[in-house]
Amino acid sequence: MIKYYAIGAMSGTSLDGLDLAYCKFELQDQAVWKYSILQADTIEYPESIKELLVKAPGMSGMQLIKLDRIYGRFIGEQVKKFKSNISDTPMLIASHGHTVFHNPGDLLTYQLGSGAAIAATTQITTICDFRTIDMELNGQGAPLVPIGDRKLFGQYDMCLNLGGFANISFEEGLSRKAFDICPVNIALNLLSSDLGYNFDKNGELGKKAQVNAELIEELNKLDYYDLQAPKSLGREWLEKEFLPLVDSCKTNTIDKLRTLYEHIAIQLSSVINKTNGNNIFVTGGGAKNSFLIQRLNSLTKKEIIIPNEKIIDYKEALLFAFLGVLRLRKESNCLASVTGADHDNIGGCIYL
């Protein structure tokens, strides 16, 4: 049995904070992987950092380069504090970074957070930039976690993550399939902030309102939903295609929020109901939104499995730690069947 100890660092598009997970991976006989999350924490962004991340898409090249280093140093400092309660030094840090641009049509993706800065600050080998090699191989560069879904959570028929965007992963024949479905927290949080809240806890705001028939019809007609996989979503699509429909709708904000819940549930169930399997494993912040889960439950007969809170909150950080381990082992950590790349590939730049 071979053991690996790694820290996964994840920042989602909804800007909830920096997730850190210290994980142990054990490679047993017949290439069977076991995992455990030994310690985990979410670091809320200071307003100064959060403001910079919000402004990042509109920054100049020089400003982005500066922020790349600033944010890398920030990650490194947070990992140092986090590691102070860990007796052993991890073998590696695997950092997803914070996505600023993701435009697969132009083979373009960019995640902030200098791996060199993280490695220099922590004195721990750091792996970052997992997406770009896949894009150079004509892939979407996303989703990345399905290799972890297959190897660590293969007992479930489907894995659904409800983060900034929803993405699903499942086996189809001998191949793993995965793609982004629709916006979730990134859109819900924007409307919640217009109502004076950081997020809609348990859907308490949205469930009191009414669905706007015109808006939901327009949202459900968006071209993306008719595309075949591989496909992925980014903020650019949200701002260009999705939010203008929401903004132009002549109804109050709380009814818009309720309409988004219904739209999300419809899009999720549409995919789930067409996918083979009897159960679906749900993680990410949206898994804790009881109203969203209730609406999803009403539209599908598949069994919805929601794990303990640690897995809900830190599954993506866990899986990026695992991607880092695979990178260190020089094993494929990005699947062409998922991204549409020319072949499976080994993503990640290593800073020793």
Residue 107's domain comprises: 2-141+314-351
β-strand pairing of 126-128 with 349-351: antiparallel
pLDDT attached to residue 210? 97
Are 152 and 123 within one domain?
no
pLDDT attached to residue 12? 79
Number of domains in the chain: 2
Are 35 and 64 within one domain?
yes
Of residues 270 and 12, more confidence is placed in: 270
pLDDT attached to residue 185? 95
pLDDT band at 10 (very low <50, low <70, confident <90, very high): very high
Residue 300 per-residue DSSP state: -
Are 210 and 93 within one domain?
no
Of residues 349 and 87, more confidence is placed in: 349
pLDDT tens digit string along 95-111?
999 999 998 888 899 99
pLDDT band at 68 (very low <50, low <70, confident <90, very high): very high
The CA distances from residue 247 to 90, 103, 250, 292, in Å, are 46, 23, 8, 22
Are 324 and 260 within one domain?
no
Are 87 and 190 within one domain?
no
pLDDT attached to residue 214? 97
Are 57 and 124 within one domain?
yes
| Angle at the Cα of 19 from the Cα atoms of 13 and 23, rounded to 5 degrees | 135
Mean pLDDT across 271-296 = 97
pLDDT band at 85 (very low <50, low <70, confident <90, very high): confident
Query: Which residues face 44 on adjacent strands?
Result: none
Are 169 and 200 within one domain?
yes
pLDDT attached to residue 293? 98
User: pTM to 2 decimals?
Assistant: 0.93
Are 42 and 120 within one domain?
yes
pLDDT attached to residue 3? 95
Of residues 268 and 89, more confidence is placed in: 268
Are 136 and 161 within one domain?
no
pLDDT attached to residue 31? 84
Residue 13 above 80 pLDDT?
A: no
- CATH number, domain at 288? 3.30.420.40
Contact 10, 19 (CB under 8 A): yes
Are 15 and 46 within one domain?
yes
Contact 69, 100 (CB under 8 A): no
Q: Which two tokens stand for residue 251?
A: 């109804």
Mean of the per-residue pLDDT values of the chain:
96
pLDDT attached to residue 323? 98
How far is the first Cα of the chain from the last one, in angstroms, to the nearest whole number?
25
| Angle at the Cα of 247 from the Cα atoms of 243 and 252, rounded to 5 degrees | 130
Instruction: Supply φ then ψ for residue 38, to 5 degrees.
Output: -80, -30
Are 18 and 55 within one domain?
yes
pLDDT tens digit string along 184-241?
999 999 999 999 999 999 999 999 999 999 999 999 999 999 999 999 999 899 999 9
pLDDT tens digit string along 127-139?
999 999 999 999 9
* Cα dihedral value 211, 180, 309, 290, nearest 10: 10
- Of 195, 170, 156, 199, the residue nearest 286 (C-alpha): 199
Are 134 and 160 within one domain?
no
